[in-house]
Structure 1
Amino acid sequence: MDLTSAKWRKSTYSSANGGNCIEVADFPGGVAVSDSKDPDGPVLLVTRAALREAVQAALPTA
């Protein structure tokens, strides 16, 4: 998949120097996820539902 024109977004919680964070970009049918420290590295393509489930599973339970 060609993501050269993708609009990548980083969390507002990211530090100015990049820190340990991911970037996300929308594409038809899902979301692309990459490591902000490795812009030429691999990209994970997932559905929005799969990303939502992963994030919810990572959140602490009350």
Structure 2
Amino acid sequence: MHSFPDGASWRTSSYTQQQNCVEVADAPGVTAIRDTKNRERGALLFSSGEWQALVEGAKHDRF
């Protein structure tokens, strides 16, 4: 796990409603995700290309 820049703007999906599970934040060239219940454990970092591939794969039910 890695830390993400201080002051990052974290967001949750509108689909999670009351059960927020993950938060996402963007910085130049990188996207981070973290567990809302364990924020102190850090975040997983993805390059922009990796993140786009993950999102596209999820949209098209490839997993």
Normalising by structure 2, what TM-score? 0.71
Give ranges in structure 1 of 5+ residues lacking alignment: none
Q: What's 1:49 paired with?
A: 49
Percent identity of equivalent pairs: 32
Unaligned runs of 5+ in 2: none
Measured after TM superposition, the shift of residue 2 of structure 1 is: 5.0
Give secondary structure in 1 for the equivalent of 2:15: coil
More helix by share: 2
TM-score (norm 1): 0.72
Matches for 1:1-62 after TM superposition, within 5 Å:
2-18=4-20, 21-58=21-58, 59-60=60-61
Detail structure 1 runs of 4+ shifted over 4 Å in the superposition: none
Separation (CA, whole Å) in 2 of partners of 1:4 and 1:60: 33
Pairs aligned (count): 59
Q: Distance in 2 between matches of 1:6 and 1:17?
A: 21
Q: Tell me the secondary structure at the aligned position of residue 12 of structure 1.
A: coil
